[in-house]
Each structure stands twice: as structure tokens, then as C-alpha cells.
Amino acid sequence: MLRSLTILIVCQFVGEVIVRVTGLPLPGPVLGLVLLLALLMLRGGPDEEMKSTSSGLLRHLLLLFVPAGAGVVTQLNVLGRNLPAAIVAIGVSTALGLAVTAWVMQRLTRGPST
Amino acid sequence: MRPELAHLWVYLQTTPLLGLGATLLAYQAAVAISRKLGGHTLANPMLIAIGLLVGLMLLTHTPYDVYFQGAQYVQFLLGPATVALAVPMHANLGQIRRSAHAILPAILAGSVVAAGSAMLIARLLGASPEVVLSLAPKSVTTPIAMGISEQIGGQPSLTAVFVLLTGIAAIILVGPVMRLTRITDWRAHGLAAGTAGHALATARVLLLNETAGAFGGLAIGLNGLITALVVPLLARLFAGF
């Protein structure tokens, strides 16, 4: 677990450094994800240790959002004032996003779905 | 409050144990509550835990900064967890390669439309710029959405709430929208759910069809990357208005 956790942290670290140095418009951890993906492709896939560490982290992913989500306590005023606009925006944009993605995908793939 | 209790409280507020313990306990309680409610999608453990903690902070007049001293240790793991998304993505690489010619344009179109229309509608309805920016990355999985939000000047905590609302909207809308647009291909179904409604909507279509679930999982990761590139450009465009 220690070795794979080290790999994850190092990927994130390198990602953050590259983002800061180049000004790429990407969150550092997302670039870290790309780096790890490249590493996995080079090595022909994750070993057992990496598989179990990553699935352990991802299994409790929801817990990791709780601290930031609880930060909404500092935004209750902003949220309250903007909630109707936000809900309409979310509802309409989600319907449009669903329709456009599915339509383009169905147009560009040939043959029956498996 | 009795004086010795007040002393204890003052002491606890200076250690990270309070926020860390409260986060872990609230989450365990939320998981138990969610199970009691039959694991219904709307009884999301994250939402319940956030509700419990917000209630607790308001009741005890604990400032968020004090809570976050401890909670930051949980939050820190979000970075490595985002990197770890590469592992399930690698497992789907074969499928990505085979239909890349259709998947990438479809996700790109969905990402631009979902983020752009959300920003435009919120702006027209008079939402504050901070809220408009926090809405932009709402369709992608929470760790990536919060990273994008922070980068473009939104509020990551508002974004976390919007991401959840988006997932719920997608669960409700995915069936009717697919019927209305006459989409019969399960791959398109799944890709749309993952692109517009991240893991929540993907879990929903997985119940209907396994292929849809696989393409949904694929879309969550790819859309995270694509949206991370697209949204900062859209935000710059909007700043020009």
C-alpha cells in the first residue's frame, strides 16, 4: 500500500508542479491522473497493490468530499439568494447535455448496440 | 455551560481532532441513515453527512475554519484519489480506443453544451458571477469539479452542492430525454448519463443495462479531463460579457 500511495502522491506532486510552471488550465490532480495513466500504459497495467490502494481510496470517495461540502455553511446566504436560478440552470442544462451527448454518439456509431 | 466544560470546548477547538472526528463520525452516521432509507439515490451519504455537520456547526456556533483544521486531513486525500481514477480508466482503455472516433466528439459536445447553457441561463436569471462560475463544472465528478471551480474563481463548496443537484436532475431526466430524442443505443444512453450526470446518473443506467454502465463509467473520467480543459476557456469567454 505504501509504495502505490507514494506513486499516487508523486504523480499528483509532479502534476501540480507542471501546472504551476506552465500555467496549463488543468487542476494539478487531473494532470496527475494523466501521468499515472501514461505510466500504467507503459507498464502494461496496475499491479495488485495499486489496484487495491486505488479501489480502497475510490470506495470511500464520497467521504472525501464532505469537508469541502460542509463549507457551504459559509455560503448559505449566497446559496439561498441564488438557489432558484441555479436549479433552473441545472435542470435545463442537464437535459440539453444528455440529449446532445447521446445524439452525437448515436449518429457517429454504426451497427446495433451490444 | 459549566466552566470546566467550557475549558474543554476551548481546548478541543484548538486541536485537529475535533474536525477530523466529527467528519468521520458524521459520515458513518450518514451511511447508516442512508441504509435505513433503503439506499435511495436522494438519501446520499455525502449529502446527509454535510447536513449533519452544517447543523452541528450552526448549533454550536463553531466557525468553519475551526472545523476545517481537522477536516483538511480528509480533504487532502481527494488529490491522490483523483489520480487513482486512472486505474479504472486504464481498465476501459480497449473500449475507449475502439469507439474513440464517436466518444470524444460526443463528450466534447455534451460538455460544452452542459457547462455553457448552465452559465448562460444562470446569468440571464441574475445569478451572481461567483455562482455562475461555481455552476460551470457541475457535470463532472466532484474532485475534478471542485478543482476546476477553485481554478476559475468559483466557490468549491457551492460547486460540491451543484454537482450533487446535477446528478439528481440527470437521474430524473435521463429516461424522458432519451425517449423524447428517440435514442435507442445503450452506448449513447450510458455515455450521456456519465457526461451530463457523472457517477449518480451512471449508477442509475447501470441498473437498466450493463453496456450503458460501462460507457457511463468511461464518460465520467473522459468528461472530467475534457471539462477541465473546456470550462476555463468558457469562463474566460463569459468574463468578456
Mean pLDDT of chain B: 89
- The pLDDT tens digits for B102-121 are 999 999 999 999 999 999 99
Judge: B165–A67 Cβ closer than 8 Å, yes or no: no
Which 44-73 residues of chain A touch chain B by CB within 8 A? 45-46, 50-51, 53-55, 57-58, 61-73
Judge: A30–B144 Cβ closer than 8 Å, yes or no: yes
* Letter string b/e over residues B69-99, b meaning 16 or more CB atoms within 10 A of that residue's CB: bbbeebbebbbbbbbbbbbbbbeeeebbeeb
Which range has the worst mean pLDDT, A3-7, A102-106, B2-6? Answer: B2-6
pLDDT at B125 > cutoff 50: yes
Judge: A64–B74 Cβ closer than 8 Å, yes or no: yes
Question: C-alpha grid cell for residue A24?
Answer: 496549463
How far is A111 from chain B, CA to nearest CA, in Å?
9
Stretch B28-33: mean pLDDT, rounded?
95
How far is A3 from chain B, CA to nearest CA, in Å?
13
pLDDT of residue A113: 46
Judge: A102–B177 Cβ closer than 8 Å, yes or no: yes
Q: Where are the domains of chain A?
A: 1-59, 73-114
Judge: B84–A58 Cβ closer than 8 Å, yes or no: yes
pLDDT at A29 > cutoff 80: yes
- The pLDDT tens digits for B79-96 are 898 899 888 878 878 877
pLDDT of residue B170: 94
pLDDT of residue A114: 45
- The pLDDT tens digits for A9-26 are 999 999 999 999 998 877
Q: Contacts of residue A62 in chain B, CB cutoff 8 Å?
A: 27, 44-46
Percent of chain B with pLDDT over 70: 98
Q: How many helices (H) and strands (E) does chain B have?
A: 13, 0
pLDDT of residue A111: 53
Which 11-40 residues of chain A touch chain B by CB within 8 A? 11-12, 15, 25-30, 32-37, 40
* Letter string b/e over residues A18-52, b meaning 16 or more CB atoms within 10 A of that residue's CB: bbeeeebbbbbbbbbbbbbbebbeeeeebeeebbe
